[in-house]
Amino acid sequence: MSLLEIADYRLAFDTFDGTHHVLDGIDLALDAGETLGIVGETGCGKSVLAKSLLRLNECPPARVVSGAIRFKDQDLLTLDARAMRSLRGRAIAMVFQDPASFLNPVLGIGAQMTDAICGQDGAQPGGRRRSRREAARMAAELLASVGLPEPERILASYPHQLSGGMRQRVLIAMALAGKPALLVADEPTTALDVTVQAQVLALISDLVRSRGLALILISHDLGVISAACARVAVMYAGTIVEEAPTQALLAAPYHPYARGLIGAVPDLDRPGSRPRGIPGSIPSLLFPPSGCRFHPRCPRASGRCGVEKPLLRGIAPGRRVACHHPEGA
């Protein structure tokens, strides 16, 4: 059985303008220890999907229209608030894009980490609350495990005294405090410089391996996904259009949007290959296109694409695509 299973999950946002159909029938599964990247452009719903796993989308305006998100045996969408709280951080932990905004600027790192660790204990029914001293020792161990030298000095620092890369390591350490089975990282390196990004990606890959973590990595950057994830799901306008082993997708995408996305990335090692844009722009989710949401921009679209929504179906071993006219088929 999968660790995580998302089935026909639909989420809408009710606003003054009307209802935005942000996620439209997401189907996805993840096994323990697996690494999955979710890639897509601005507004495709990848962050909303990530937050859904911890039920962090504010309802309202968000509204679950249908579907289920199962983690182990529990349906996360029907869990009561208390049970959900004990799951956050201990079963599923999350790391966000901008490490600076997830640390309290007027509290020391030590206080924030021990708070997080003791808070985990409190959320655990019948759990024993650790003493501050025990928690501080554990915090130092966690900092060492994410490759921060001199943990004691870091614990005594304030966020502004740390670099962006160090702050992101601190947040990763805090995410590990509850020994989660699944780490959800939403653009964890986007705010970082490229040399520091490489360090943090290597750290995440190490942790995934050494702790047997499952990883969902959200990114707009196919290079980042390729560096850290064995499998990738491509999202467009609230739907998953293709899912495949990362290298297989990059070598031969089936979905025209996936192909367009890959073709738009400039290749550092092949300056001669001219990246091509995708004509048109992303659709409004207030009035999404009928049928396949990509059909107005698609070079392969037929009449059928405008009326019939393509389902995500298996097309080759380990590969699924939602397209009536996939490439090379």
Partner 1 sequence: MSTPRSEAVAAMAPLVEMRAVTKRFRVRRGAFHTTEIAAVSEVDLGLPRGTAVGLVGESGCGKSTVARLILRLLDPTAGSIRFDGTDITTLAEAGLRPLRRRMQLIHQNPSAALNPRMTAFASIAEPLVVQEGARGGVLVERVAALMAEVGLPGEFLHRYPHEMSGGQRQRVCIARALALGPSLVVLDEPTSALDVSVQAQILEFLQSLRSGHGLTYLFISHNLAVVRQVCDRVAVMYLGRIVEEGPADAVLSAPLHPYAQALLAAVPRLRQGGVLPSVAGDPPNPASPPSGCAFHPRCRFAEARCRTERPDLVAGGDGERRVACHAVAEGRI
- Any long-range contacts for 202-207 (C-beta under 8 Å, 24+ apart)? 203/146, 203/147, 203/169, 203/172, 204/172, 204/228, 207/145, 207/146, 207/172, 207/176, 207/183
Nearer to partner 1, 126 or 149 (CB): 149
Report the nearest approach of partner 1 to the CB of residue 164 (Å): 8
318 binds partner 1 (CB under 8 A): no
From candidates 82, 267, 287, 304, binder to partner 1 by CB under 8 A? 267
Distance CA 25, CA 328 (A): 25
Element of type H or E holding 210? helix 194-211
Taking alpha carbons only, the member of 197, 41, 171 closest to residue 116 is 171
Distance CA 326, CA 329 (A): 6
Distance CA 236, CA 278 (A): 13
Measured on CA atoms in the order 101, 107, 113, 118, is the torsion positive or negative?
A: negative
Distance CA 324, CA 254 (A): 11
Options 48-56, 132-140, 180-188, 258-266: segment touching partner 1 (CB under 8 A): 258-266
From candidates 33, 108, 223, 288, binder to partner 1 by CB under 8 A? 223
Number of residues counted as binding partner 1 (CB under 8 A): 48
Nearer to partner 1, 9 or 257 (CB): 257
From candidates 271, 303, 317, 328, binder to partner 1 by CB under 8 A? 271
From candidates 60, 269, 317, 328, binder to partner 1 by CB under 8 A? 269
Query: What is the SS3 assignment for 297?
Result: helix
Query: What is the SS3 assignment for 180?
Result: coil
Nearer to partner 1, 119 or 164 (CB): 164
Nearer to partner 1, 51 or 169 (CB): 169
From candidates 274, 303, 317, 329, binder to partner 1 by CB under 8 A? 274
DSSP labels for 251-280?
HS--SHHHHHHHHTSPPTT-TTS---PPSS
Structure tokens at 252: 């031969």
Task: Kindly give the pairing relationship between strand 231-236 and strand 35-39.
Answer: parallel
Nearer to partner 1, 11 or 229 (CB): 229
From candidates 153, 160, 209, 276, binder to partner 1 by CB under 8 A? 276
Say which amino acid occupies 249. L
Report the nearest approach of partner 1 to the CB of residue 281 (Å): 5
Report the nearest approach of partner 1 to the CB of residue 15 (Å): 15
From candidates 107, 264, 311, 316, binder to partner 1 by CB under 8 A? 264
CB atoms within 10 A of CB 23: 29
Report the nearest approach of partner 1 to the CB of residue 202 (Å): 5
174-195 burial, b if ≥16 CB within 10 A, otherwise e?
bbbbbebbbbbbbbbbebbeee
Report the site for partner 1 in 183-222 (rule: CB under 8 A): 193-199, 201-202, 205, 220-222
237 binds partner 1 (CB under 8 A): no
42 binds partner 1 (CB under 8 A): yes
Report the nearest approach of partner 1 to the CB of residue 230 (Å): 8
Structure tokens at 251: 């070598």
Q: Could you list the residues that contact partner 1 (CB under 8 A)? A: 41-42, 163-166, 193-199, 201-202, 205, 220-224, 226-228, 230, 246-247, 250-251, 260-269, 271, 274-279, 281-282
